[in-house]
Amino acid sequence: MLSDRIQLLSESLTMAITALAQQLKREGKDVLGFSAGEPDFDTPQVIKDAAIEAIEKGFTKYTAVDGIPELKEAIVEKLKRDNGLNYSTDQVIASNGAKQSLFNLFQATINPGDEVIIPAPYWVTYPELVKYSGGTPVIIETNDDTSFKITPEQLKDAITDKTKMLIITSPSNPTGAVYSKEELEAIAEVLKGTDILVASDEMYEKLVFDGTKFVASASISEDMFNRTITINGLSKSVAMTGWRFGYCAAANKDLVKAMKKLQSQSTSNINSITQMAAIKGLDGSADADIEMMRQAFETRCDEATKLFNAIDGLSVVKPKGAFYLFVNHKEVEPDSMKFAKAMLESVGVAVVPGAGFGSDGYFRFSFATDIDTIRKGIDRIKTFVENYN
Ligand code: PLP
């Protein structure tokens, strides 16, 4: 019954842990969850108000497939203001989350056998969508030594005549690594003279810490602008996961047209009300709320990093952005599924095993939750590690 294509998609490795956490909760066990990939904050009021107004004004019909002109204008303005990028409205598409932007992109560009370079640890969806699109994921392993960033040499070694695309995620889910301008320039240098595309996932752009400056891949040079597809959205930076708004921008208008064609034959426009709300998330109206959330994440990040690094056997590279810690537990236990499962069963703490992100021996701890719960959770993890055998 099932297509070969759909059978290429793997079940999420983390599902087993999530299911176990739910089962333990049902049994009445006190489980603390640190696996969430979404902010614990509510969507800023100014954004909600715009949505309410849209409903009341009856803005509830189909719109243009790629978004209403005002929204596309707001995307273009945002990319200019924040990132120094000069796109026009026919170079951007609003989609149902960055996830749909990525799906459109892979479907529109990848031919059977094309290779897509994905640095690990990676966001779980990339290799799955690449496979689904007929491509072959080529994984570059990174670790704590390079703060989970690829080196130009690694990239050079991974490139073959089949390489179609490189994915860059900065800030990264799950490590919080952020590529500096110089590091992006070094990557750009390797790509020069090739026709390799860059998918730059910039979802956590606004969540950077310790004065780290976010740099967009497309802003590095004209060459990078032309080869990069910028992917972004408001789910993480503006606490709008449920609204389903993301976007992509690309210099190549034929590619934009192709992605729009796919979207027109699959989902059409994104929710009309979300479009009105998203304008407020992009145009600076919610900047004070965004900064409040960023500061809260930074405070939690500082404390959680310190607490983890004080536990014998665990270590974590302090993230420069996003809201995750990627904790190394190799000294205690190399198998991340085994470790996460045992931690959940013995001390009731749910984290995501690193194997799910392509890097065993780590777990991802989300600090998108209040500081008291974070302290309590890390305290339990300390007890668990002290008694692990
Ligand atoms: N990219 C990264 C790196 C993410 O972590 C996520 C969500 O977890 C997404 C994209 C998808 O976000 P959206 O809600 O816009 O589909």
**In terms of domains, do 354 and 277 share one?**
no
**In terms of domains, do 126 and 61 share one?**
yes
Ligand 1: residue whose CA is nearest its atom 8: 37
Token digits of residue 383: 């007890």
- 249 forms bridges with which residues in the sheet? 92, 230
- 247 forms bridges with which residues in the sheet? 94, 232
Contact between 259 and 104 under an 8 Å Cβ cutoff? The reply is: yes
The percentage of residues in the chain with a pLDDT greater than 90, rounded to a whole number, is: 94
**In terms of domains, do 112 and 34 share one?**
no
Q: How far is the CA of 99 from the centre of ligand 1 (A)?
A: 6
Which pLDDT score is estimated for 18?
80
**In terms of domains, do 31 and 162 share one?**
no
What is this model's ipTM? 0.99
**In terms of domains, do 50 and 120 share one?**
yes
**In terms of domains, do 246 and 316 share one?**
no
Count CB atoms within 10 A of the CB of residue 339: 25
Give the integer Cα–Cα distance in Å for 368 and 382.
20
The overall average pLDDT reported for the chain is 96
Ligand 1 atom index nearest CA of 96: 16
Give the integer Cα–Cα distance in Å for 134 and 309.
42
Number of domains in the chain: 2
**In terms of domains, do 93 and 138 share one?**
yes
Last residue of a domain, one of 282, 313, 330: 282
Q: How far is the CA of 171 from the centre of ligand 1 (A)?
A: 12
Nearest-10 Cα torsion for 238, 242, 248, 253 = -140
**Ligand 1 pocket, CB under 6 A:** 37, 97-99, 123, 169, 173, 201, 203, 233, 235, 241, 246
> Given pLDDT bands bounded at 50, 70 and 90, which one contains residue 369?
very high
Ligand 1 atom index nearest CA of 322: 5
Residue type at 134? Answer: G
Q: How far is the CA of 309 from the centre of ligand 1 (A)?
A: 28
Last residue of a domain, one of 252, 282, 312: 282
**In terms of domains, do 176 and 154 share one?**
yes
CATH number of domain containing 139: 3.40.640.10
CATH number of domain containing 353: 3.90.1150.10
Q: How far is the CA of 325 from the centre of ligand 1 (A)?
A: 17
| Cα dihedral sign, 304-309-310-313 | positive
Strands 92-95 and 246-250: antiparallel
**In terms of domains, do 135 and 260 share one?**
yes
Domain limits for position 125: 45-282
- 163 forms bridges with which residues in the sheet? 115
Q: What is the mean pLDDT of residues 330-350?
A: 95
Q: What is the mean pLDDT of residues 274-281?
A: 98
Residue reference for tokens 């020069």: 192
Q: How far is the CA of 356 from the centre of ligand 1 (A)?
A: 15
**In terms of domains, do 318 and 262 share one?**
no
**In terms of domains, do 376 and 315 share one?**
yes
pLDDT tens, residue by residue, 144-201:
999 999 999 999 999 999 999 999 999 999 999 999 999 999 999 999 999 999 999 9
The predicted model scores a pTM of 0.96
pLDDT tens, residue by residue, 5-34:
999 898 776 677 888 888 998 999 999 999
Last residue of a domain, one of 282, 309, 325: 282
**DSSP secondary structure of 126-188:** HHHHHHHTT-EEEEEE--GGGTT---HHHHHHH--TTEEEEEEESS-TTT-----HHHHHHHH
Residue type at 11? Answer: E
Closest Cα to residue 244, out of 84, 75, 37, 96? 96
**In terms of domains, do 334 and 322 share one?**
yes
